Amino acid sequence: MLGFDFLISSHIMFLNNFTSLINQPMRRAFFILLFTAAFISTRAQVKKQAAATTVKPTAGYNIPITIKPLQNKWIYLYSYYGKNYQIADSVLLDPHGAGILKGKTKLSPGIYLTVLDHKLKLFDVLMDKEQHFSITADTSHLDDVKIIGSKENDLYTAYSKFLSQIAPRLNGLQQQLQSAKTKADSAVIRDAMAKTNKELNNYRDNLIKTNPNSMLAAFFMAVKRPDAPAIPIVNGKPDSLYPGRYLKEHYWDDVSFNDDRLLRTPFFDPKLDEYFKYYVSPEPDSIIPEINYMLLSARETKDMYKYLLGRFTDKYINPEIMGQDKVFLFLFNNYFSKGDTSWLNKGQREFIFNRAYSLMANQIGELAPQLNLVDTLGKELQLYNLKSPFTFVIFWDPNCGHCKEMVPRIDSIYNAGWKQKGVQVYAVNVDEGANPAWKTFIAEHHLNNWVHAYQTKEQRDAEVKLNQPNYRQLYDITQTPTLYLLDKDKHIIGKKLTIEQFNDLIDAKLKSKN
Q: Check for a shared fold between 4-148 and 372-513.
A: no
pLDDT for 505 equals 96
What are the residues facing 124 on neighbouring strands? Answer: 113
| Contact by Cβ (8 Å): 218, 207 | no
Domain range 4-148, its CATH number among 3.65.10.10, 1.10.1040.10, 2.60.40.1120, 3.30.9.10:
2.60.40.1120
- Predicted local distance difference test score (pLDDT) of residue 143: 85
Q: How far apart are CA 483 and CA 227, in angstroms?
A: 45
Tell me, what's the pLDDT at 119? 84
CA distance 66 to 94: 9
User: Is residue 248 within 8 Å of 281, Cβ to Cβ?
Assistant: no
- Say if CB 426 and CB 371 are below 8 A apart: yes
Give pLDDT, residue 376: 87
User: What is the per-residue pLDDT for 340?
Assistant: 76
C-beta of residue 314 within 8 angstroms of C-beta of residue 31 = yes
Collapsed DSSP state (helix, strand, coil) of residue 127: strand
Beta-carbon contacts of residue 37 (< 8 Å; ≥ 6 apart): none
CA distances from 504 to 299, 364, 497, 499, 507 (A): 42, 17, 10, 9, 5
Residue 408 per-residue DSSP state: H
pLDDT one digit per residue (tens) for the chain, 514 residues: 555 544 444 333 333 333 333 333 333 333 333 333 333 333 334 333 443 334 445 689 999 999 999 999 999 999 999 989 999 999 999 999 999 999 999 999 999 999 998 889 999 999 999 999 999 999 999 988 999 999 999 999 999 889 888 999 999 999 999 998 899 999 999 999 999 999 999 999 999 999 999 999 999 999 988 889 999 999 999 999 999 999 999 999 999 999 999 999 999 999 999 999 999 999 999 999 999 999 999 999 989 999 999 999 999 999 999 999 999 999 999 999 988 788 889 999 999 999 999 999 999 999 999 999 999 888 999 999 999 999 999 999 999 999 999 999 999 999 999 999 999 999 999 998 899 999 999 999 999 899 999 999 999 999 999 999 999 999 999 999 999 999 999 999 999 899 999 999 999 999 988 7
| Gap between the terminal Cα atoms of the chain | 64
Evaluate whether 70 touches 63 at the Cβ level (below 8 Å). no
Reported in sequence order, the residue ranges of 359-446 that DSSP labels E, i.e. its strands, are: 372-374, 380-382, 390-396, 423-429
d(CA 483, CA 497): 7
Q: Secondary structure of 201-214 in the HEC alphabet?
A: HHHHHHHHHHCCCC
pTM, whole model, 2 decimals?
Answer: 0.82
Sketch the domain layout of the chain as residue ranges.
4-148, 158-223, 233-360, 372-513
Helix, strand, coil distribution of the chain in percent, nearest 5: 45, 20, 35
Report CA 283 to chain centroid distance, whole Å: 17
pLDDT at 513: 80
Burial of 464 (0-12, 13-18, 19+ CB in 10 A): exposed
Q: What is the largest CA-CA distance in the chain?
A: 85
Write the single-letter amino acid at 82: G
pLDDT (0 to 100) of residue 1: 54
Architecture of the structural domain at 372-513: 3-Layer(aba) Sandwich (3.40)
> What is the sign, positive or negative, of the torsion defined by CA atoms of 130, 79, 290, 274?
negative
Half-sphere exposure of 16 (CA within 13 A, CB side): 6
Phi-psi category of residue 499: left, alpha or beta, with phi > 0 → left and psi -120 to 50 → alpha: alpha
Measured CA to CA, the distance from residue 343 to residue 288 in angstroms comes to 23
Q: What is the DSSP string of 242-258?
A: HHHHHHHHHTTTT--TT
CA distance 187 to 189: 5
Identify whether the C-beta of residue 265 lies closer than 8 Å to the C-beta of residue 85: no
- Picking from 36, 33, 43, 37, the residue whose alpha carbon sits closest to that of residue 76 is 43
Rg, Å, the chain Cα set: 30
> What pLDDT was estimated at residue 5?
46
Q: Cα separation of 127 and 261, whole Å?
A: 9
Q: What was the pLDDT predicted at 424?
A: 97
DSSP 367: B
Reference 480, options 401, 425, 420, 417; nearest CA is 401
Other beta carbons within 10 angstroms of residue 53's beta carbon come to 5
